[in-house]
């Protein structure tokens, strides 16, 4: 069946669809790793910010501010082209050479340097936002709650784990999910440093076939599937106290 004229000439060839799916798989994998790293880092940063020590608070504040107030694109370029260039030449060449890493019986391929740079930049950037959201959640729990729990004889640790955290999680669940969906979309910027994710593959298909509409339409569709899938999965996770009514 010939497609209508407004779709352009010809439809995507099978091997281009293959590229797009490979790109989508890389996007999903990168986003997953970034979400996990960002959550871990974000919790640590949020905890650091709630510390009594001024120097720790100041350090965390600086880190958060650096990542929240500068464009992600610039951070990506800084890590990939900038920081990498500062390393000694031997270290750079070793990092970029293909190795195999054996970990507990599993042989893993050494990731390409652009993947590592993307992972670092995206994780730090997302962690800053995750940290602020977790902080907002913790702050949203009324101080009276802590006072009451302490008066009942709970230790500060118990107060945090059993009183503050469950309530905070309920508050931050939705904004945090939004943050994770944002991570999936932000991975498209890593195209600038040569990570062959979904935007990159759509750009390649476009430049080789000149099927502009088709290439970007398929990319849009695949992004939509990824984000909707993540949304659905995220919607199933309920913190202990359940949805607020």
Partner 1 sequence: MKLKLTLALLLAATSTSALADRLDDIKKAGVLRVAAFDSNPPFGFLDAQSRQISGLDVDVARHIAGKIGVKLELVPTNPANRIPLLVSGKADLIAANFTVTPDRAKQVDFSLPYFASGQQFISRKGTLATPAQLAGLRVGADKGTTQEITLREKYPATKVVSYDDTPLAFAALRNGNVTAITQDGSKLAALLANAPDKDKYEIAPFTLTREFQAIGLPKGEARLVKVVNEVLLGLEKNGEAKKIYDHWFGPGTKAPLPRDFRIGDKA
Give contact residues for partner 1 (rule: CB under 8 A).
80-81, 84-85, 89, 92-93, 95-96, 112-114, 192-194, 196, 200, 203-204, 206-208
Nearer to partner 1 among residue 8 and residue 239 (C-beta): 8
Contact 11, 214 (CB under 8 A): yes
Nearest to 89 by CA among 97, 101, 79: 97
Helix (H, G, I), strand (E, B) or coil at 73: helix
The least CB distance from residue 125 to partner 1, in Å, is 20
Q: CA–CA separation, 27 vs 196, rounded Å?
A: 9
Contact 129, 64 (CB under 8 A): no
The least CB distance from residue 27 to partner 1, in Å, is 16
The least CB distance from residue 37 to partner 1, in Å, is 22
The least CB distance from residue 227 to partner 1, in Å, is 25
Nearer to partner 1 among residue 166 and residue 194 (C-beta): 194
The least CB distance from residue 222 to partner 1, in Å, is 19
Nearer to partner 1 among residue 89 and residue 243 (C-beta): 89
The least CB distance from residue 20 to partner 1, in Å, is 15
Q: CA–CA separation, 70 vs 42, rounded Å?
A: 18
Nearer to partner 1 among residue 114 and residue 133 (C-beta): 114
Helix (H, G, I), strand (E, B) or coil at 105: coil
Nearer to partner 1 among residue 113 and residue 174 (C-beta): 113
Nearer to partner 1 among residue 8 and residue 194 (C-beta): 194
Nearest to 17 by CA among 188, 214, 207, 212: 214
The least CB distance from residue 116 to partner 1, in Å, is 10
* Bridge partners for 103 per DSSP: 106
Token couple for 113: 């340097």
Neighbour tally for 158: CB within 10 Å:
13
Q: CA–CA separation, 164 vs 223, rounded Å?
A: 36
Burial of 218 by CB count in 10 Å (0-12 exposed, 13-18 middle, 19+ buried)?
Answer: buried
Nearer to partner 1 among residue 84 and residue 141 (C-beta): 84
């Amino acid at each position: 069946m010939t497609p209508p004229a407004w779709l352009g000439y010809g439809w995507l060839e099978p091997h281009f669809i293959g590229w797009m799916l490979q790109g989508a798989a890389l996007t999903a994998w990168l986003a997953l790793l970034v979400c996990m790293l960002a959550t871990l880092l974000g919790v640590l940063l949020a905890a650091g910010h709630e510390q009594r020590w001024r120097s720790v608070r100041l350090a965390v504040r600086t880190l958060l501010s650096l990542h929240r107030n500068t464009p992600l694109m610039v951070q990506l370029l800084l890590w990939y082209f900038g920081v990498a260039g500062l390393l000694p030449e031997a270290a750079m060449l070793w990092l970029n050479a293909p190795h195999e890493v054996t970990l507990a019986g599993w042989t893993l391929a050494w990731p390409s340097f652009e993947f590592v740079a993307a992972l670092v930049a995206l994780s730090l950037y997302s962690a800053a936002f995750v940290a602020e959201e977790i902080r907002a959640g913790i702050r949203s729990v009324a101080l009276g709650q802590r006072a009451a729990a302490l008066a009942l004889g709970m230790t500060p640790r118990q107060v945090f784990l059993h009183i503050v955290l469950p309530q905070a999680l309920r508050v931050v669940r939705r904004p945090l999910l939004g943050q994770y969906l944002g991570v999936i979309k932000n991975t498209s910027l890593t195209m600038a440093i040569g990570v062959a994710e979904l935007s990159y593959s759509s750009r390649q298909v476009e430049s080789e076939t000149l099927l502009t509409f088709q290439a970007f339409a398929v990319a849009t569709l695949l992004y939509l599937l990824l984000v909707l899938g993540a949304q659905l999965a995220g919607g199933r996770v309920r913190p202990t106290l359940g949805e607020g009514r």
